[in-house]
Structure 1
Amino acid sequence: MSSSQPRFTVGICGGGVSGLCIAVALSRCPDIEVHVYEAANSFKEIGAGVMIWGRAWRALSLLGLDQVFREVAGAPADGSADPQFGFDYRRSDLGSEGFLIHRHVLPYPGHNFHRAHFLDALADLLPAGVAHLGKRLVSFTYKNTPTGQVGLHFVDGTSATCDVLLGCDGIRSVVRRCMFEGLARDGRPQLTQYIEPMWTGEILYRCLIPSEELPLKNGGKHPVLQRPIIYCGNNKHFFGYSIGRQKWVNVGGFVTTPGRRGDTWEEPWVSECSVQEVVESFAGWERDLQDIIKCVERPMKWAVHQVKPLPFFAHRHVALVGDAAHAMTTHQASGAEQAIEDACVLAALLSHSSVTQANLSQALKAYERVRLPIAQHVMAVSAATGELYEMRNGLNGDGYSAWISELKTLWRWVAGEDLKTEINKALVMTRDIGGTRFQYKL
């Protein structure tokens, strides 16, 4: 931090992927003061794997973090990634053999990470004094000041003040709750419907398996160590891919009850379950998947929830980021990817010299206008991808040609508009919304 007066102060609630990406980027700006408030006593996230490719990798590059994560991923010395990065899709519920439906190679390389390693790498880049652990937010209030500061109030009785608050606090976001409850009290009661996440009707069984425990197949590694695999079937599917420099395999099996999407889930969202529950859920599926399930120990059972598509991400000097804004199903493994894109756009906006206390709200609205339609499109195609994997859309006839065509369509967004173009759009919007004139080109 610079010893001179900062241009403004950024408070980040939540130290997950989006929060730490923004914090690392903004902490490099000598005229911005940044603080991360994390409820836990260490930086951690539920979940094991992070898959980064295409747009998210471009975002990390724009944030100046790509080389760090090449090293974390154990990429070759030249920094290259697997040029054949993608997924094998198999029909797996029709007998012991199963068959390949399609090998989908993405038009861009990618990397898989252990989520803990990903967060550790970010946390190591934070300067001293930025992170504040054990700070669980209770509420925020708008202070009666000329610049519209935000007051933060924590469970331990302490408080803090910032000029802009970024809610990076996950699917059960306190920042989202406070934002929408406050607006509901001010005459918009319909907004209360967006506070609580929604159960998708899906159950997910998750586990990490040491790679060395998987049996050899035909004298070589198990196929799931070669490339990510999606095992597809009626109302169920199972995924597996290696992480942590191939020391572990991140696996998960989805079981969906059609028609229960939006129902209330009364039990804990995450709980322990028996191995037998997983075995019974995928009994009779193909042999390669059975070899994986035989290695499962201490599985966790998740009730998969998502945030309802929000009407907006930002209000005054407060913005929702990552899962707080658009927690989605994992069927395209794009939740972290979208959080990184959010972080990239916000960091570029807030670090720009033309953004000041006077136009912070315009900058946050510009972030919303750029990111909301993209993130909610990804949320929708992620849900549609789960429907496709579980054969609920009637496209699995005629040699699966229609199924494959739909799969390619659902993945098309990843090769969309360049992030740098979107950042420039957001900077132009900041100017136009506020009626100010400044140089916006990166």
Structure 2
Amino acid sequence: MSSTTPATPSKFRVAIVGAGLGGLLLALFLQKYSTDIDVDIYESAAKLTELGAGIGVWPRVMEVLKFLGLEDDLKEIGGAHDSTAQSVHYRKADEPKAVDIRVFAPALLTFSRSDLQAVLAKHLHTADKIVYSKRLLAYVEPEAGQLDPIVLQFKDGTTATCDLLVGSDGIRSAARRTMFNNLADAAEIRGDKEQAAKLRTMIEPVWSGQVVYRGLVPVDKLADSAHSKDLQKTLILLGKDRASLPSLSATNVHEANIDPQDIVSYPITRGKTINVAAFVNTPGAEGTTYTKAWVTESTSAEVLEKFSGWDAGVQDLFKAMDKSLSWAVHTVRGLPTYVSGRAVLIGDAAHAMTPHQGSGAGQAIEDGFILATILSHPNVTLSNLFEALKIHDGLRRPFSQGIQRRSQMTGYLYHLHRLGWEHITGEQSAAGDYPREMLGKIGDELESAMGWAINESIMDDREKALKLLEKL
């Protein structure tokens, strides 16, 4: 007669809403460090499918992935043909011939988002716990101080329960909507209508004023092009808007001319494909409501027209891009908390940001790493989950919102709106009519702005979390 060992009792049940990079990394960290936490993942899509084509990973985030033992798998899906870290080449390219600004030493690794997501899912032992086609509508919390389960309500009419809800459901997060409506309702009950109104402004995303054209280009279409020398390079190409427009009202903002601003390109799929993201900006539109569809199809001709007059390599890159999708770039306002009761927001649900630090996905990964460190600690129980989540909020919210602001400022730099460039017209910039030492100032500022991602370690924050957990 065979005998079985009783399963370890679960100390609490975690529901992760959203199987993006942040949600999957959180599940993997919990799998690695905890045997007494049950995890269910609810994904709105019918299968795993990461939106967006490419992702760049800086050393700070790569340290986390190596910590999970994923290094060999990542070498197999690396963006460059030899899967090594790449240099980042910054250039000013709104002139007929691009001008070098600065080259960063090899530090960036690039991947296809879907390839990276597949690697994470492959290592998830409880992949059968991912429940697909489950879009969260709202959740219902128990009364304050009660340990009853949280009830999840899905679009298909079904429900589920958990002890801890992790909202990893993206920029249009239903978890954020419920959390901040609840916080606003509580403020109204206290008689603080002003605070309630402010909290409700945190629910919906806001437009950054930018639209990005994303596309993929097979490298064999560029073999004889002006871009051929840059096929295996990560490029960030800066440019000046062509004209300064007056402030725009919400009614006329979409009728204004949009101006080319910057382009990011890098290899993915072992160097077989170039991931391209070309940003255009509507002056004065930051913070307004975007009334059109967020994602639409576009053509190579449309993008070429917007970047006419730019470097020849840019022209050839866009000519080889058969089609693209235009995305309205949205962000989340700086939230006063990521935590309420036994619910916590991570990733874009908490701090969606512009892409100009290449760190949106990386910050989601860091969220998952620190949150798993906290939840798996032996001092954390169902009864003190809220206190534990406040440790996460105290560490991750200031840091991630700092990167959110830094990304915004880096975007202004990419668009040549800082360091004296605001006094250079678009016509002067395109004609090369500016002091060359101004390029050096940009390079210095970029190195300072990206130093945290290249030189700092997330393990410092992990140690801070562990020390705070000892006091629980």
Q: Same fold (TM over 0.5)?
A: yes
Secondary structure at the counterpart of residue 50 of structure 1 = strand
Q: 2:81 touches 2:270 (CA, 8 Å); kept in 1?
A: no
Aligned partner of 2:192 in structure 1 is none
7, 15, 35: which one aligns with 2:11: 7
- Asked if the contact 1:215–1:291 (Cα under 8 Å) also holds between the matched residues in 2, the reply is no
Question: Following the alignment from structure 2 to structure 1, what is the Cα–Cα distance between the partners of residues 76 and 15?
Answer: 29
Kindly provide the amino acid, as one letter, of the partner of residue 404 in structure 1. Answer: G
Cα deviation for residue 94 of structure 1 reads 1.9
- Cα offset for 1:33? 0.4
Q: Describe the SS at the equivalent of 2:356.
A: coil
Structure 1 residue 224, shift from structure 2 partner: 3.1
1:176 corresponds in structure 2 to 176
Give 1:338 deviation, angstroms.
Answer: 0.8
Q: Please list, as runs of the form range in 1=range in 2, the aligned pairs for 1:45-60 lying within 5 A after superposition.
A: 45-60=50-65
Q: Which of 54, 62, 65 pairs up with 2:67?
A: 62
- The corresponding residue for 2:249 is none
Distance apart, 1:309 and its partner CA: 1.1
Query: Residue type of the partner of 2:313?
Result: D
Higher-Rg structure is 2
Letter in 1 for 2:48: F
Give a deviation string over 1:33-79, Cα, whole Å, max 9, x none: 000000111112210111112110111123333333233328899xx
The percent of aligned pairs where both chains have the same amino acid is 37
For 1:430 and 1:175, how far apart are their aligned partners in 2? Answer: 26
Specify the code of the residue in structure 2 equivalent to 1:258. Answer: P
Residue 105 of structure 1: CA displacement?
2.2
C-alpha distance in structure 2 between counterparts of 1:34 and 1:290, whole Å:
48
Aligned ranges 1:218-367 → 2 under 5 Å: 222-235=228-241, 236-367=261-392
Q: How does 1:90-169 map to 2 (within 5 A)?
A: 90-95=91-96, 97-105=97-105, 109-126=107-124, 127-144=126-143, 146-169=146-169
The yes-or-no answer on 1:414 pairing with 2:453 is yes
- Give the corresponding residue for 2:247: none
More divergent stretch after superposition (66-75 vs 19-28): 66-75
In structure 1, give the amino acid aligned to 2:109. Answer: H
The alignment covers a number of residue pairs equal to 424
Verify the 8 A CA contact 2:206 2:333 in the aligned structure 1. yes
- Aligned counterpart, 2:207: 199
Which residue of structure 2 lines up, in the alignment, with residue 20 of structure 1?
A: 24
- In structure 1, runs of 5+ residues without a counterpart are 437-442
Q: CA shift at 1:217, angstroms? A: 5.6
Q: Residue by residue, what CA displacement relative to the aligned partner does 1:354-403 show, whole Å, maximum 9, x if unpaired?
A: 21112211221111111111111111111111111111114454422221
1:247 deviates by 1.4
Q: What residue number does 1:439 align with? A: none
Deviations 1:292-335 (A, max 9, x none): 01101121111111111111111111110011111111112111
Partner of 1:88: 89
Shift of 1:431: 4.5
* Distance (whole Å) between structure 2 residues aligned to residue 395 and residue 199 of structure 1: 26
Residues 153, 228 of structure 1: CA spacing in aligned structure 2 closer, same or farther, 3 A cutoff?
A: same
* Separation of aligned partners in 2, 1:2 and 1:267: 56
Structure 2, unmatched stretches of 5+, are 188-194, 242-260, 422-434
C-alpha displacement of 1:202: 0.6
Q: Which residue of the partner structure matches residue 440 of structure 1?
A: none
**Cα distance in 2 between the residues matched to 1:70 and 1:87:** 19
Partner SS, residue 259 of structure 1 = coil
Q: Is the 8 A contact 2:301 2:319 kept in 1?
A: no
The SS at the match of 2:292 is coil
| Pair 1:74–1:394, CA change in 2 (3 A) | closer
Cα 1:395–1:89 change in 2 (3 A) is farther
Q: 1:241 & 1:59 partners in 2: Cα distance?
A: 22
After TM superposition, give the deviation of residue 123 of structure 1 in Å.
Answer: 1.4
Of residues 409-418 and 358-367 in structure 1, the stretch that sits farther from structure 2 once superposed is: 409-418
Residues 395 and 402 of structure 1 are in contact (CA less than 8 Å); yes or no, is this contact kept in structure 2?
no
State how far apart, in whole Å, the 2-side matches of 1:246 and 1:161 are: 44
Match among 34, 39, 42 for residue 44 of structure 2: 39
Whole-Å Cα distance in 1 between the matches of residues 118 and 267 of structure 2?
Answer: 19
Q: Per the alignment, in what secondary structure is the counterpart of residue 323 of structure 2?
A: coil
Larger displacement relative to structure 2 (354-363 or 24-33): 24-33
- 2: distance between equivalents of 1:143 and 1:242? 48
Moved more, 277-286 or 401-410: 401-410
Give the Cα–Cα distance (whole angstroms) in 2 for the partners of residues 349 and 124 of structure 1: 24
Distance 1:342 1:76 in 2: 30
AA of the residue aligned to 1:207: G
Distance in structure 1 (CA, Å) of the matches to 2:453 and 2:28: 25
Letter in 1 for 2:291: E
* Amino acid in structure 2 at the alignment position of 1:260: A
- Separation (CA, whole Å) in 2 of partners of 1:331 and 1:198: 17
* Local SS of the residue matching 2:7: coil
Any idea what SS the aligned residue of 2:330 has?
A: strand
- Residue 209 of structure 1 corresponds to which residue in structure 2? 217
Q: What residue in structure 2 maps to residue 425 of structure 1? A: 464
Equivalent in the alignment of 1:405: 444
Whole-Å separation in 2 of the counterparts to 1:27 and 1:299: 38
